[in-house]
């Protein structure tokens, strides 16, 4: 099937099966590799993107359900004011170890700050708890979110 | 170094491992220096002074990162060593990841926390030798003595006021003879401008933009996608499958049975050998999603092999029966533990068990391979490309020299990517279809076809004299393997602390043979053994009526004492971290009800760590971690404090996941868990503050991938005992057991 998706502000056409998860459309049909496969079951958050501003796990989102939604990925989030503050904070603290989950972490953090510019510790934990980091960089993730929130 | 030697060295299976590490450490890098050359034998790029350093006319310096980056920070840290002695500004440095290139680079692996000890001196020497020829070139041009020249920020200066950027000197310098690496003079550490400065990861700016750095991100023109469906039962093989149906599905390019080849891990003696190619069904498609989806239609008749009856219950029952008898093999015996137990003033006995664990790297195993038309090219997240090359060559029937391996960034590794099973699978599939193929394992493949951290069951009897000194330690455990050969990472080092400090001590084992693949997981062996030993030491401290830290210091004895089999062990360094952590945590302070502090320490991978956990246990058994303190001694210099703290905190958090969350079980010869809902790393909600302090001691710097991990598990369970009087003797912690 032919689909036109709005990704990072651009309309892009792809030809994929109806049930293809957005994750694999982004990665393999659009060559946007920053959205990452971790579990395929909505359990790890590595594939988080924004759909109309909401954080969504793209591994569970069939392409046929997207319609004209506006999709933002890790490749595009740095161009938004909140995304820029978050990625700057991520770099200042150097959150990363392997970095594989960090795209999803940043997307979740950006959605949190968009809805709640000054989150408490509990707010951060509630928003981020499903996002697994196998390297265990959670303390720096928390710190970076707070730093980004200060700059708002 | 032969891959087999390297594997032993990293995986830490054999009783002699520590001795082997000791040889390397005692040589202080001298042993390693011999491996390094300035790499002029091979064609070098324009501006290259050697295999590590290239300088462009605009004075941009490109340094090669030779080792695999798996999140431990070596792609940044190793070039920092070169840059420091080359005397350049870090901001003028670019870093390139090396391919596997044994002609130019040695020790291209990630494992055993060895990158720092193996490279700390040699890479500084590389930097200094490169600086030396640049200075020499300037001196010759100016007709002055090199000794009158100085360098800073990538420039050579002379007292006369003359100066030149390195970029202008490269051509002349490239013609000069490089000095003997061992003879070059290294900087006084007080002059360091890069080493010891918090430095952000060189790839971090790319990572926050989602750049395609990982193996799973590789794209090759004309590439197809594959899944490889293996028998869920370990040791099983394929009888038949509905391949004709599969081939008719949309986008499917091919589907075929792979019979398997080489030494199957299950068939090798004790399960210790390197893996071969496992049997299974390859499905190749024009997209990964289509290949993966085709598995829903796959119908396979398996031959489940000899281990289909193995299960976690079977292992536990077998272990129970074996522990009721004398161990089949006693491999360390000091004095007469049985007699000493009879005459001891007080004796205690305890059993401990811990489960199998998966690595569950967040990036599943994957590899892109192109094996066709005489090409044999691989792109993979691998910790051990040297072993991959041997495995691929042997299995595919190609020459080692024709195997090209591009090392990609790894989305976590933790020992999993020391095994290169996914690489040989991708190579085999590519060879069959004659096109480049990207193989990606699903998460389910990854959890169900791991080389698991072995489970174990221990029975220990300890005896104290009237003064509360340990006089007897009789230790039997059940593990995996065959005869007197442990399965990979299923052994207990005969030098394990406190062996050598107790007059009457024995270690004995009985082994179960199974088809379950086992292998190294971060801090192999120690990740389980330190929990057992440091828990039982805590039990003995309480039995003796002593404070656990005072007791630990008393057992340690004179700082010079060395246990057999662990020559590099330093009691003084243990004392250093123990006393530091005691201060950090406010040991002995008054705590609320059902709250406790627990302490433990370990020596592994050349590093020393003592950790304290403060835990609170609710009436319903829920454990809350209030705080962790970690004091770590990895020598006199932390190369990159930014990465070092991250590694230490991550190690602690990894250990806490072992204690609280993770467990792999088996039923009918197969793994029960299949995704993160069954085997989860710690989540943010569970993570306590982790305060890290590095104790600098006058020893060669060593690595941080592993040493901070093992002690946090016993520190936590000892804290639970302090809070509740209940001793956790089975992992992961069962809150129900702590209720009430």
Domain boundaries, chain A: 2-75, 77-150
Is B288 an interface residue toward A (CB < 8 Å)? Answer: yes
Confidence of residue B558 (pLDDT cuts 50, 70, 90): confident
Q: Is there a contact between B310 and B667 (Cβ–Cβ < 8 Å)? A: no
Q: Is there a contact between B701 and B120 (Cβ–Cβ < 8 Å)? A: yes
- CATH topology assigned to domain A77-150: DNA polymerase; domain 1 (1.10.150)
Confidence of residue A17 (pLDDT cuts 50, 70, 90): very high
Closest CA to A136 of B417, B241, B71, B354: B71
Q: Using CA atoms, how far apart are residues B110 and B385, in angstroms rounded to an integer?
A: 10
Confidence of residue B690 (pLDDT cuts 50, 70, 90): very high
- Nearest chain A residue (CA) to B364: A38
Say which CATH architecture domain A2-75 belongs to.
Roll (3.10)
**pLDDT tens-digit readout, B576-610:** 999 999 999 999 999 999 999 999 999 999 999 99
CATH 3.30.365.10 boundaries in chain B: 3-201, 215-307+360-448, 523-740
The whole-number pLDDT of residue B482 equals 86
**pLDDT tens-digit readout, A96-107:** 999 999 999 999
**pLDDT tens-digit readout, B485-535:** 898 899 999 989 999 999 999 999 999 998 899 999 999 999 999 999 999
Percent of chain B with pLDDT over 90: 85
Say which CATH architecture domain B215-307+360-448 belongs to.
2-Layer Sandwich (3.30)
Q: Is there a contact between B604 and B711 (Cβ–Cβ < 8 Å)? A: no
The whole-number pLDDT of residue B403 equals 97
pLDDT at B638 over 60: yes
Sheet harboring B690-694: ordered strands across? B595-604, B607-617, B623-633, B690-694
Is B289 an interface residue toward A (CB < 8 Å)? Answer: yes
Q: Please check whether the two domains, A2-75 and A77-150, share a CATH topology.
A: no
Q: Using CA atoms, how far apart are residues B5 and B480, in angstroms rounded to an integer?
A: 21
- For residue B90, the tally of other CB atoms under 10 A from its CB is 16
The whole-number pLDDT of residue B582 equals 98
Q: Using CA atoms, how far apart are residues B394 and B404, in angstroms rounded to an integer?
A: 14
Q: Cβ contact (<8 Å) for A24 and B411?
A: no
Q: What is the DSSP string of A33-70?
A: TTS--S-SSSSS-TTEEEETTEEEEGGG-BGGG-TT-E
Is B662 an interface residue toward A (CB < 8 Å)? Answer: no
**pLDDT tens-digit readout, A54-83:** 999 999 999 999 999 999 999 999 999 999
- Nearest chain A residue (CA) to B360: A134
Q: Is there a contact between B503 and B335 (Cβ–Cβ < 8 Å)? A: yes
Q: Using CA atoms, how far apart are residues B608 and B618, in angstroms rounded to an integer?
A: 32
Nearest Cα of chain A lies from the Cα of B360 at a distance, in angstroms, of: 8
Say which CATH architecture domain B3-201 belongs to.
2-Layer Sandwich (3.30)
Distances in Å between the Cα of B399 and the Cα atoms of A80, B374, B381, B384, B466 are: 51, 10, 22, 18, 67
Average pLDDT over residues B236-245: 96
Q: Is there a contact between B388 and B405 (Cβ–Cβ < 8 Å)? A: yes
Q: Cβ contact (<8 Å) for B210 and A73?
A: yes
Q: Cβ contact (<8 Å) for A136 and B683?
A: no
Q: Cβ contact (<8 Å) for B650 and A136?
A: yes
The whole-number pLDDT of residue B256 equals 98
Q: Using CA atoms, how far apart are residues B636 and B699, in angstroms rounded to an integer?
A: 6
Burial class (CB in 10 A: 0-12, 13-18, 19+), B432: middle
Confidence of residue B740 (pLDDT cuts 50, 70, 90): confident
The whole-number pLDDT of residue B32 equals 28
This complex has an ipTM of 0.98
Across chain A, mean pLDDT equals 97
Distances in Å between the Cα of B584 and the Cα atoms of B548, B578, B612, B616, B628 are: 16, 10, 9, 19, 10
Distances in Å between the Cα of B497 and the Cα atoms of B43, B601, B710 are: 50, 10, 13
Q: Which of residues 290-329 of B touch A (CB under 8 A)?
A: 290, 293
pLDDT at A10 over 90: yes
The whole-number pLDDT of residue B272 equals 40
B273: helix, coil or strand? coil
Average pLDDT over residues B106-110: 93
User: Taking CB atoms and an 8 Å cutoff, what residues of chain B touch A38?
Assistant: 362-364, 443, 676
Q: Using CA atoms, how far apart are residues B405 and B384, in angstroms rounded to an integer?
A: 11
**pLDDT tens-digit readout, B2-37:** 334 434 444 433 323 332 233 333 332 222 233 455
**pLDDT tens-digit readout, B346-378:** 999 999 999 999 999 999 999 999 998 777 999
Q: Is there a contact between B489 and B521 (Cβ–Cβ < 8 Å)? A: yes
Percent of chain B with pLDDT over 70: 91
Q: Which of B212, B411, B442 sits opposite A98 (nearest CB)?
A: B411
The whole-number pLDDT of residue A33 equals 98
Q: Cβ contact (<8 Å) for B683 and A130?
A: yes
Q: Cβ contact (<8 Å) for A37 and B677?
A: no
The 8-class DSSP code of residue B631 comes to: E
Instruction: Identify the residue with better confidence: B440 or B267.
Output: B440
Is B99 an interface residue toward A (CB < 8 Å)? Answer: no
Is domain B523-740 in CATH 3.30.365.10, yes or no? yes
Confidence of residue B562 (pLDDT cuts 50, 70, 90): low
The whole-number pLDDT of residue B47 equals 77
Q: What element of type H or E holds B334?
A: strand B329-334
Nearest Cα of chain A lies from the Cα of B243 at a distance, in angstroms, of: 21
Confidence of residue B294 (pLDDT cuts 50, 70, 90): very high
The whole-number pLDDT of residue B266 equals 47
Q: Using CA atoms, how far apart are residues B490 and B218, in angstroms rounded to an integer?
A: 35
The whole-number pLDDT of residue B5 equals 41
The whole-number pLDDT of residue B567 equals 53
């Amino acid at each position: 099937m032919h689909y036109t998706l709005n990704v990072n502000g651009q309309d892009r056409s792809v030809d994929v099966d109806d049930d293809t998860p957005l994750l694999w459309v982004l990665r393999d049909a659009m060559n946007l590799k920053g959205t990452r496969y971790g579990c395929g079951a909505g359990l790890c958050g590595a594939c988080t993107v924004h759909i109309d501003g909401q954080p969504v796990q793209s591994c569970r989102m069939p392409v046929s359900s997207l319609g004209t939604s506006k999709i933002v990925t890790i490749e595009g989030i740095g161009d938004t004011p909140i995304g820029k503050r978050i990625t700057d904070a991520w770099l200042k603290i150097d959150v990363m170890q392997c970095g594989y989950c960090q795209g999803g972490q940043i997307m979740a953090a950006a959605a949190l700050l968009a809805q709640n510019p000054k989150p408490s510790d509990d707010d951060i934990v509630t928003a981020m708890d499903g996002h697994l980091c196998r390297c265990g960089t959670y303390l720096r993730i928390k710190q970076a979110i707070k730093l980004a929130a200060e700059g708002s | 170094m032969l891959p087999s030697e390297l594997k032993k060295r990293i995986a830490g299976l054999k009783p002699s491992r520590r001795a082997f590490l000791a040889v390397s450490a005692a040589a202080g890098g001298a042993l390693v220096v011999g491996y390094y050359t300035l790499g002029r034998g091979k064609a070098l790029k324009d501006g290259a002074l050697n295999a590590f350093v290239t300088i462009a006319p605009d004075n941009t310096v490109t340094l090669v990162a030779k080792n695999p980056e798996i999140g431990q920070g070596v792609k940044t840290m190793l070039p920092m060593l070169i840059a420091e002695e080359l005397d350049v500004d870090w901001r003028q440095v670019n870093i390139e990841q090396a391919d596997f290139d044994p002609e130019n680079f040695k020790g291209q692996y990630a494992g055993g926390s060895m990158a720092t000890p193996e490279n700390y001196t040699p890479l500084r020497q590389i930097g200094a030798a490169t600086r030396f020829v640049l200075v020499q070139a300037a001196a010759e041009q100016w007709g002055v003595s090199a000794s009158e020249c100085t360098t800073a920020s990538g420039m050579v200066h002379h007292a006369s006021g003359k100066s030149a950027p390195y970029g202008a000197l490269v051509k002349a310098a490239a013609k000069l003879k490089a000095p003997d690496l061992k003879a070059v003079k290294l900087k006084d550490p007080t002059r360091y401008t890069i080493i010891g400065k918090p430095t952000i990861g060189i790839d971090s700016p790319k990572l926050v933009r989602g750049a395609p750095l990982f193996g799973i991100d590789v794209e090759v023109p004309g590439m197809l996608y594959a899944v490889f469906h293996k028998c869920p039962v370990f040791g099983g093989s394929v009888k038949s499958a509905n391949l004709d149906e599969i081939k008719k599905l949309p986008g499917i390019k091919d589907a075929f049975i792979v019979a398997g080849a080489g030494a199957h891990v299950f068939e090798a003696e004790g399960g210790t050998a390197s893996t071969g190619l496992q049997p299974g069904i390859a499905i190749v498609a024009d997209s990964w999603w289509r290949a993966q989806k085709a598995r829903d239609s796959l119908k396979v008749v398996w031959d489940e092999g000899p281990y289909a009856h193995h299960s976690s219950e079977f292992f536990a029952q077998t272990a129970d029966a074996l522990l009721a008898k004398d161990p089949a093999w006693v491999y360390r015996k000091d004095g007469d533990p049985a007699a000493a137990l009879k005459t001891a003033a007080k004796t205690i006995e305890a059993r401990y068990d811990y489960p199998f664990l998966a690595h569950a790297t967040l990036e599943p195993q994957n590899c892109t391979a192109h094996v066709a038309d005489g090409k044999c090219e691989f792109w993979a997240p691998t910790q051990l490309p040297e072993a991959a090359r041997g495995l691929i060559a042997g299995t595919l029937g190609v020459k080692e020299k024709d195997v090209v391996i591009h090392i990609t960034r790894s989305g976590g590794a933790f020992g999993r990517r020391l095994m290169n099973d996914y690489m040989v699978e991708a190579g085999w599939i590519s060879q069959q279809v004659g096109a480049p193929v990207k193989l990606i394992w699903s998460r389910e493949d990854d959890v169900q076809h791991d080389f698991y951290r072995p489970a174990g069951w221990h029975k220990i009897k300890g005896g104290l004299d009237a003064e509360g000194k340990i006089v007897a330690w009789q230790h039997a455990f059940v593990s995996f393997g065959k005869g007197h050969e442990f399965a990979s990472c299923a052994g207990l080092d005969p030098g394990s602390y406190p062996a050598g400090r107790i007059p009457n001590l024995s270690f004995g084992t009985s082994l179960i043979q199974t088809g379950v693949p086992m292998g190294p997981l971060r801090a192999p062996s120690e990740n389980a053994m330190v929990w057992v030993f440091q828990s039982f030491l805590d039990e003995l401290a309480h039995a003796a009526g002593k404070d656990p830290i005072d007791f630990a210091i008393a057992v340690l004895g004179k700082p010079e004492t060395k246990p057999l089999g662990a020559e590099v062990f330093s009691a003084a360094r243990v004392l250093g971290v123990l006393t530091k952590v005691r201060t950090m945590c406010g040991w002995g302070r008054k705590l609320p009800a059902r709250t406790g502090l627990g302490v433990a320490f370990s020596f592994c991978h050349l590093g020393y760590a003592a950790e304290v956990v403060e835990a609170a246990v609710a009436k319903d058994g829920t454990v809350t971690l209030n705080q962790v303190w970690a004091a770590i001694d990895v020598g006199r210099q932390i190369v990159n404090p930014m990465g070092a703290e991250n590694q230490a905190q991550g190690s602690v958090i990894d250990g806490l996941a072992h204690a609280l969350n993770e467990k792999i079980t088996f039923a009918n010869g197969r793994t029960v868990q299949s995704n993160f809902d069954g085997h989860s790393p710690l989540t943010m909600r569970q993570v306590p503050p982790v305060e890290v302090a590095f104790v600098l001691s006058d020893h060669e710097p060593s690595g941080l991938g592993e040493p901070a991990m093992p002690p946090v598990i016993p520190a936590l369970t000892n804290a639970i005992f302090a809070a509740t009087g209940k001793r956790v003797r089975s992992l992961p912690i069962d809150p129900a057991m702590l209720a009430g």
